[in-house]
Amino acid sequence: MAAPVQSPVDTQSASTQTMTIGKALNNGLRAAMEADPKVLVMGEDVGKLGGVFRVTDGLQKDFGEHRVLDTPLAESGIVGTAIGLAVRGYRPVCEIQFEGFIFPAFDQISSQLAKLRYRTQGKLKAPVVIRVPFGGGIGAVEHHSESPESLFSHIPGLKVVSCSNPVDAYWMMQQAITSDDPVMLFEPKKLYHSSALKAPVDTTATPDPLHSSRVVRHGDSATIAAYGPSLPVALDAATAAQEEGRSLEVIDLRTLSPLDLGPVFESVRRTGRLVVVSEASSEVSLASEVAARVQQECFYSLEAPVQRVTGFDTPYPPAKLEEHFLPDLDRVLHAVDNALDW
């Protein structure tokens, strides 16, 4: 089992800072750029503005316009340019301003970036990171609240991860940048500046492996698996269930491709029940894959069918309706009830 998330401490060392997820991502980028002059940051408004969510704030001022590049509004061009830079020995970090705008770059990502190492039999590397703010909950207009992570997790050659806390945000950014394979980092935009999720980050700690899931709360009544923006909802459900005498184990999947389901299998073999929570639609999704794999590997341990709590199989709704679309505490607890009452 992977090591637990760093716990808050009363007295912080010089190497420990309390950060939001957004600040941790910024510091992770900064650390990677200080460690390797070949690391570049590129995207729409990432330079002078510091990104629309301020994740790249201050980087252009400190590292210069030659390393933090404001690009035209052309996602295909951003990723295509990054591929060329990677072939020439750089490690570009691309920001897609909002996940709904990524699809003009889909061909570059799926046909070129994901296949480059395989196509060249390993002669060429593809150390490109694509940062994707994703998910709902910010009251935005169309194309600004999507959850397309399942689409990219289906593409062989891509690695896909998602952070849910400042510690993972800080370390995942650096681990993704040092990878010689392309990594898509899905960042839960509604959690960027959440004061409730502020946590101390030890910048000298040994991080968990990039492609590993983690038990973040232990329990024995049922298991909840979630990632990214859905992880706080899962933890809230576990807290609420505890008041009713139900002990829920919560697992942060963290890595979406490849999936690390070992801890999930181990947990389900003890609890006999699983609820998977995700903002993405349920059809042909990561939630579907987790459910299928658990039922394949843990069939004789299951006491109930795997429950899925997801966004609905519709386009993302207008902002005034999004609270009805996103998985919430009531929906997760209802799924837990269904599993326990089976």
Tokens linked to 77: 């061009």
What is the rounded CA–CA span in Å between residue 80 and residue 56?
A: 21
What is the rounded CA–CA span in Å between residue 212 and residue 134?
A: 21
Query: Nearest CA to 147 among 317, 290, 316, 21?
Result: 316
What is the rounded CA–CA span in Å between residue 5 and residue 180?
A: 26
Q: Provide the 3-class DSSP secondary structure of residue 300.
A: helix
What is the rounded CA–CA span in Å between residue 64 and residue 70?
A: 11
What is the rounded CA–CA span in Å between residue 205 and residue 278?
A: 29
Angstrom CA distances, 315 to 75, 96, 148, 286, stand at 22, 20, 11, 17
What is the rounded CA–CA span in Å between residue 194 and residue 330?
A: 21
Q: Are strands 214-217 and 183-188 parallel, antiparallel or unpaired?
A: unpaired
Q: Are strands 255-257 and 159-162 parallel, antiparallel or unpaired?
A: antiparallel
Tokens linked to 88: 């020439």
Phi (first) and psi of residue 277, to 5 degrees = -120, 130
Tokens linked to 151: 């689409």
Is 144 annotated in the active site? yes
What is the rounded CA–CA span in Å between residue 75 and residue 77?
A: 5
Burial (CB count <10 Å: 0-12, 13-18, 19+), residue 242: middle
Query: Nearest CA to 281 among 310, 249, 238?
Result: 310
Q: Which residues contact 20 (CB under 8 A, 6 or more apart)?
A: 166, 192, 193, 194, 195, 197, 198
Q: Looking at 144, 211, 218, 324, which residue is catalytic?
A: 144
Catalytic (active-site) positions: 144
